[in-house]
Amino acid sequence: MINSLLPLPRILVFLAFAAVGGAVATMLQVPLGWLIGALVTTAVISMCSVEVRIVPYGRELSQGLIGIVAGERLTPAVADQLIRLLPLMLAVTLVTILFASFQSWALARLSGVDRRTALFSSLPGGVAEMAVLATRYNGDAGLVSVGQFMRILLVTLTVPQIVLLFPSDTVFDPITSMGGGRVGFALGVLCLVALSAGIIFARLKIPNGWLFAGIIAGGIGGFLEFESIGVPTWSLVVAQVLIGTALGSRCKPSLLKSGKLFLPLNLMGTGVLILFTVLAAGVVAHFTSLDHASLILALAPGGVAEMSLVATSMHLDVILVVAFHLIRITLIILLSVPLMRIFAPGKKS
């Protein structure tokens, strides 16, 4: 019956289901409840062979809004702190990438897929970026896309629950957006800046371009120390539902057919990588003054938008989370081909 509806009514119906799922998860006090509830609800519907329609550019615009929220914290003092932390962030990120690369050897041997497919599936990079590299260097782009998506899905569902086991000793000042701010002139200007930059970055095919555009816009407000910026709480709820719906819509029955051994082994590998990053966060927190809970999100091999939302909702160090993730994404883009030549050598045909 739903499949027979016109596009707009279909979109509204699925949004309603997703919002109900998000509301239930939030009432059950699930971290990132609006996103996870919407994701699970939409995934269940999609796995029942129902064609899910999502809001066009809903996820991209939501990422831009999240970027503004994160960028607001980027004051001159915070920027100075991040510069001093740069060597540490680079070192920890490189170790995580190398760990994922070694994991790809085991995935290739146990699942029977070629080493390049295993490598591009194991690296915690972007779905589109890794699929493009797999196509260019003779890997299986379909399996890589599935593996990368399942990684993001598993991290989004599990890491927020793990953070609850490590309560933060520091309560970071809540951003004005979490205090029920109203849409004002300053926010409108920053949204226009983010929208313009997002369109440009999308055309240039910059990874996570919409989120990066939002961070730039929010950073402008942070550096200029605007005090009238206020992203309303309801808008972040809408952003969570839109992102959750977009992720859940990609859970199709065909996922279960994407390699009988590859999919469960890839999920197991993601679980091991999550455990590794949690332990690494503990080590870094022990030897530094950085917040442990924030570090778990910062090192988690998931999507930067989703982990930023968790940090925002829990009043953790959002800008630290964003900084680590952007460094990881940048390093993976720069090192993917050199890592391929080391861990999956072979001639490009």
Alpha carbon separation from 180 to 67, 165, 222, 232, 307 (Å, rounded): 18, 28, 19, 5, 21
Lookup: tokens for 37: 């509830």
Question: Residues of 12-45 as b/e, b for ≥16 C-beta within 10 angstroms?
Answer: ebbbebbbebbbebbeeebbbbbbbbbbbbbbeb
Contact 306, 137 (CB under 8 A): no
**Cα dihedral sign, 19-25-27-29:** negative
217 close to 199: Cβ distance less than 8 angstroms: no
Q: Give residue 225's pLDDT.
A: 63
Asked if 106 contacts 272 with a C-beta cutoff of 8 angstroms, the reply is no
From CA 183, how far away is CA 19, in angstroms rounded?
22
Structure tokens at 32: 């990132």
CA 233 to chain centre: 20
C-alpha 335/C-alpha 80 separation (Å) is 26
- The whole-angstrom separation of Cα 342 and Cα 336 is 10
Name the nearest CA neighbour of 298 among 328, 273, 271, 268. 328
| 56, two tokens | 């066009």
The CA-atom distances, in angstroms, between 37 and each of 17, 19, 102 are 10, 8, 34
pLDDT attached to residue 176: 41
Q: Would you state the pLDDT for residue 133?
A: 87
Q: What CA–CA distance (Å, rounded) separates 283 from 296?
A: 11
Domain map of the chain by residue range? 58-343
Q: What pLDDT, on a 0 to 100 scale, did the predictor assign at position 30?
A: 85
Mean pLDDT by 10-residue block, N- to C-terminus, for the chain (349 residues)?
A: 62 92 92 90 89 88 88 80 93 96 94 92 86 87 86 93 84 46 70 93 86 88 67 87 89 70 91 97 94 95 89 88 91 91 74
Whole-number pLDDT of residue 349: 39
